[in-house]
C-alpha cells in the first residue's frame, strides 16, 4: 500500500475553523467536557487500542447486563486484530469488545474517554477473516484517533453538531453540515481500516460483508461497479456515504486524488452547509460588484443594492478583480482560513437560477438604467454562462417577443472594452 498519512479531511479542518471562529463559546463549553463518557453507543465513532484489562466504571449498566464481553482468553484472534490495527494507527491503550443481542451484522463504537469499547452485532464476527477483522478494528479505532487529535477539537465539533441536530431552532445549514461531517468521519475511518490491514481489496471486502451480510463477496467487482456511478453530485447518504462511494473514495485516496467531492457535492443554494453558505455570500457579493461596475448599470441605486449582497454590507462597493466568473463550469472559490485550494465545484441549476435573479434584481433596481441596463444584463449573463437568464427575465417581466428581440439585439452589439 502507498504510504499516505492518515489526517483529518480538508472538510473537517474547514468546519473546525468555522466553528471556532463563529461559535467559539459553544465550542469551548463542549471542549471542556470531553471527558464525559457517551451514554449510548456511537455508531462508527472510535476509541483507542490494546487489550489490557479495563475498569468497568463508566460503562452503561445495560451493556453489562445485556451484552457478552469478548475477553482475550476466549477470543484471541479478535484482540490480536485490535493490536495490529492499533499499531498501524499509532494508538495504544486498552480496548474491550462486546457482542450485543440481535441486530444486523455490524460494528460500532461506544465512546469512552479512557479506553475503546467496540460493539459487534449479528453474525459479523463469523463472516470475517483475520485481515478483514483488522480492517474493521481499524475503522473503529480511526474514529477515536480523530477525536483525540488537536486535544479533542474534532470531538467537540462532533458533539456541537449532535446537539444542534436535536434543537428545532437549528438553521438548516447546520443540519447539512452535520450530515456532511458524519460522512467525512466515515471516509476518515475507512482510511483507518485501509491503514490497519494494508490492502484495498481486503478493506472493500470487509465493507461489503458489513453491508450485505454475505460470507463471500468480490471486492474487485465492486470497485468496477463503483466506477460506473456518477459521484459528481455527491453522496445522498444521511450519515454514511453509499458503499460504492466509500470504495471509490478509498481507491482515489490511494491514488492521491481529491475525493472530498463525494462529501460536498456541487455548490447548491438549496442545501448549503455553513461553509457553502459563506461561499455563496462571497460569490453573490463578487458577482454583484462586477454587475454594478458595468457602465450601463453604474448608479448609486444599483451600487446600494449590490452592497446588500455582502455580509456585512461595505461602506463602499469594492472594485471587482479579474473577469466575470463563469457559472456554467466548475468554479474555484477561495478556501476557508488559508486551507489548500479545493477542487473547483460545479454549480447546481438552482444556484445558477439564484445568480440569475441576483442579476435581474440589479438590472431593474434603478429605473433610470432603462433598456440599456436590461441589455447589459443579457450580455453579462452570456459572459457568465447563465444560459437561462433570458427566459427567467422574460417570465418575470413579461416581455413581448418584439421587445425581447430588441433587448437581445442590443446586447449583441459589439462593445469597445
My answer on whether omega of the bond before 403 falls inside 30° of 0, hence cis, is no
| Model pTM score | 0.89
* Cα 313 → chain centroid: 29
What are the pLDDT digits (tens) for 168-207? 999 999 999 999 999 999 999 999 999 999 999 999 999 9
Is 98 in a helix, a strand, or coil?
Answer: strand
The rounded distance, in Å, linking the Cα atoms of 398 and 396 is: 6
Q: Which residues of the chain have pLDDT under 50?
A: 35-56, 416-417
What are the pLDDT digits (tens) for 211-264? 999 999 999 999 999 999 988 789 999 999 999 999 999 999 999 998 999 999
Contact 75, 147 (CB under 8 A): no
How many Cβ atoms from other residues are within 10 Å of residue 328's Cβ? 12
How many Cα neighbours within 13 Å face the side chain of 368? Answer: 7
Q: Any idea which residue has 474491550 for its cell?
A: 96
The rounded distance, in Å, linking the Cα atoms of 34 and 121 is: 27
Average pLDDT, the chain: 88
Q: What is the pLDDT of residue 230?
A: 85
The rounded distance, in Å, linking the Cα atoms of 389 and 407 is: 13
The set of residues, in sequence order, having a beta carbon less than 8 Å from that of 241 and lying 6+ positions away, is: 183, 186, 187, 235, 249, 262, 263
Name the burial class of residue 267, with classes exposed (0-12), middle (13-18) and buried (19+) by CB atoms within 10 angstroms of its CB.
buried
Amino acid at each position: 500500500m502507498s504510504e499516505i498519512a492518515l489526517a483529518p479531511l480538508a472538510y473537517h479542518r474547514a468546519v473546525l475553523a468555522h466553528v471556532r471562529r463563529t461559535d467559539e463559546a459553544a465550542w469551548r463549553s463542549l471542549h471542556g467536557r470531553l471527558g464525559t463518557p457517551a451514554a449510548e453507543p456511537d455508531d462508527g465513532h472510535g476509541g483507542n487500542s490494546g487489550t489490557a484489562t479495563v475498569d468497568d466504571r463508566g460503562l452503561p449498566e445495560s451493556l453489562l447486563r445485556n451484552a457478552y464481553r469478548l475477553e482475550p482468553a476466549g477470543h484471541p484472534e479478535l484482540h490480536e486484530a485490535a493490536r495490529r490495527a492499533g499499531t498501524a494507527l499509532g494508538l495504544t491503550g486498552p480496548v474491550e469488545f462486546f457482542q450485543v443481542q440481535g441486530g444486523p451484522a455490524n460494528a460500532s463504537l461506544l465512546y469512552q474517554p479512557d479506553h475503546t469499547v467496540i460493539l459487534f452485532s449479528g453474525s459479523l464476527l463469523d463472516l470475517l477473516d483475520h485481515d478483514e477483522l483488522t480492517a474493521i478494528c481499524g475503522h473503529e479505532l480511526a474514529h477515536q484517533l480523530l477525536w483525540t487529535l488537536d486535544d479533542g477539537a474534532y470531538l467537540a465539533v462532533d458533539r456541537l453538531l449532535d446537539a444542534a441536530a436535536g434543537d428545532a431552532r437549528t438553521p438548516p445549514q447546520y443540519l447539512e453540515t452535520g450530515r456532511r461531517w458524519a460522512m467525512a468521519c466515515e471516509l476518515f475511518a475507512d482510511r483507518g481500516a485501509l491503514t490497519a490491514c494494508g490492502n484495498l481489496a481486503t478493506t472493500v471486502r470487509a465493507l461489503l460483508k458489513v453491508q450485505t451480510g454475505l460470507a463471500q463477496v468480490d471486492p474487485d467487482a465492486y470497485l468496477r461497479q463503483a466506477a460506473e456511478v456518477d459521484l459528481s453530485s455527491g453522496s445522498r447518504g444521511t450519515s454514511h456515504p453509499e458503499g460504492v462511494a466509500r470504495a471509490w473514495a478509498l481507491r482515489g485516496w490511494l491514488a492521491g486524488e481529491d475525493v472530498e467531492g463525494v462529501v460536498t457535492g456541487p455548490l447548491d443554494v438549496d442545501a448549503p452547509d455553513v461553509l457553502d453558505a459563506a461561499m455563496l455570500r462571497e460569490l453573490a457579493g463578487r458577482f454583484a460588484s462586477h454587475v454594478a461596475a458595468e457602465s450601463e448599470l453604474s448608479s448609486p441605486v444599483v451600487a446600494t443594492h449590490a452592497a446588500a449582497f455582502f455580509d456585512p454590507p461595505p461602506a463602499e462597493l469594492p472594485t471587482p478583480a479579474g473577469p466575470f466568473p463563469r457559472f456554467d463550469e466548475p468554479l474555484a472559490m477561495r478556501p476557508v482560513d488559508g486551507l489548500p485550494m479545493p477542487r473547483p465545484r460545479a454549480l447546481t441549476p438552482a444556484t445558477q437560477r439564484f445568480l440569475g435573479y441576483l442579476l435581474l434584481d440589479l438590472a431593474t433596481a434603478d429605473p433610470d438604467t432603462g433598456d440599456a441596463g436590461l441589455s447589459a444584463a443579457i450580455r453579462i449573463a452570456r459572459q457568465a454562462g447563465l444560459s437561462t437568464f433570458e427566459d427567467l427575465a422574460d417570465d418575470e417581466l413579461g416581455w413581448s417577443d418584439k421587445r425581447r428581440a430588441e433587448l437581445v439585439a442590443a446586447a449583441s452589439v459589439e462593445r469597445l472594452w
